[in-house]
Amino acid sequence: MANTVDSIPARRVLTDPAGLVRYQHDEAEWAPYGTPLAVVRAQTTDEVREVVRHCLTHRIPLVPRGAGTGLSGGANAVDGSIVLSFEDMNRTVHIDPAERLAVVQPGVVNDDLRAACAEHGLWYPPDPASSPWSTIGGNVATNAGGMCCVKYGVTRDYVLGLEAVNGLGEVVSLGRRTTKGVAGYDLAGLIVGSEGTLGVITEITVRLRPARPQERTVAGYFASVVAAGEA
């Protein structure tokens, strides 16, 4: 990669064509994709900031990538881009049982967060179908839902705050780390669902609920689509 980011070890900057293949696209069947110039596996916010600044300086397209489980092509590479992978930023930083919140890096898998919260008698409700593999960063970027969203809400309803690197290469902190917060604009909520267009998320603070019994799925059978809709 031309003008390689000095702060990131070469072993975490992938340029071999064979190694780039699995980073080219997500699970969208028909969405177009290209060949990236490189894949950078960042481990810290500072490294993410340096990658963003590098791409800004050299006018290189930047594609943030979580687990690649999306169905919309949002993580698909474009020719000559740098794919910024969060697979190595996978740490649960802090769980606060008193405030009922957790602070996580974007590469934390949804189900892993749920398991960690359960040890404290807490629960993280958003449950996309890909929860055994999808990451919280991707869930936030796409405002993921799931079966529980009908009763408990989608990802945006559980994001209290976040840290992100904006398009100027600046690290910004938005939202809060408290249960109650009523002042100012909901800028953290604005980032949720923006799919990387407003910034690259590097840390997320999520609201938790008390643990409750394991959910059960009920299947309903109807004579027609109209009857199902009426029900």
Interval 104-157: pLDDT, tens: 999 999 999 999 999 999 999 999 999 999 999 999 999 998 888 888 999 999
**pLDDT interval class at 1 (50, 70, 90):** very low
Task: Inform me whether the pLDDT recorded for 84 exceeds 50.
Answer: yes
Q: For residue 92, what pLDDT band results from cuts at 50, 70 and 90? A: very high
Better-scored residue on pLDDT, 157 or 7? 157
What's the average model confidence in pLDDT over 1-21? 80
If you count them, how many residues does the chain have? Answer: 231
- Read off φ and ψ for residue 52, nearest 5 degrees: -60, -45
Beta-carbon count within 10 A of 119 CB: 10
Which residue in the block uniquely carries the two structure tokens 């009426």? 230
Residue 3 reports pLDDT greater than 70: no
Instruction: Say what the pLDDT of residue 4 is.
Output: 55
Could you list the beta-strand ranges (E) of 121-180: 122-123, 159-165, 171-175
Selection from 177, 174, 216 nearest residue 192 by Cα: 174
For 46, the enclosing helix (H) or strand (E) is helix 45-58
- If you average pLDDT over every residue of the chain, what do you get? 92
Tracing tokens 């409750």 back to the chain, one arrives at 212
Distance CA 104, CA 179 (A): 16
Per-residue model confidence (pLDDT) at position 2:
47
At CA 85, angle to CA 68 and CA 70, rounded to 5?
15
C-alpha to C-alpha distance for 179 and 193, rounded to whole angstroms: 21
pTM (two decimals): 0.88
Tokens matching residue 130: 């890909």
Domains of the chain: 10-85 (3.30.43.10), 92-210 (3.30.465.10)
pLDDT, tens only, 166-222: 999 999 999 988 777 778 888 999 999 999 899 999 999 999 999 988 777 788 899
The phi and psi torsions of 208 (rounded to 5 degrees) equal -120, 160
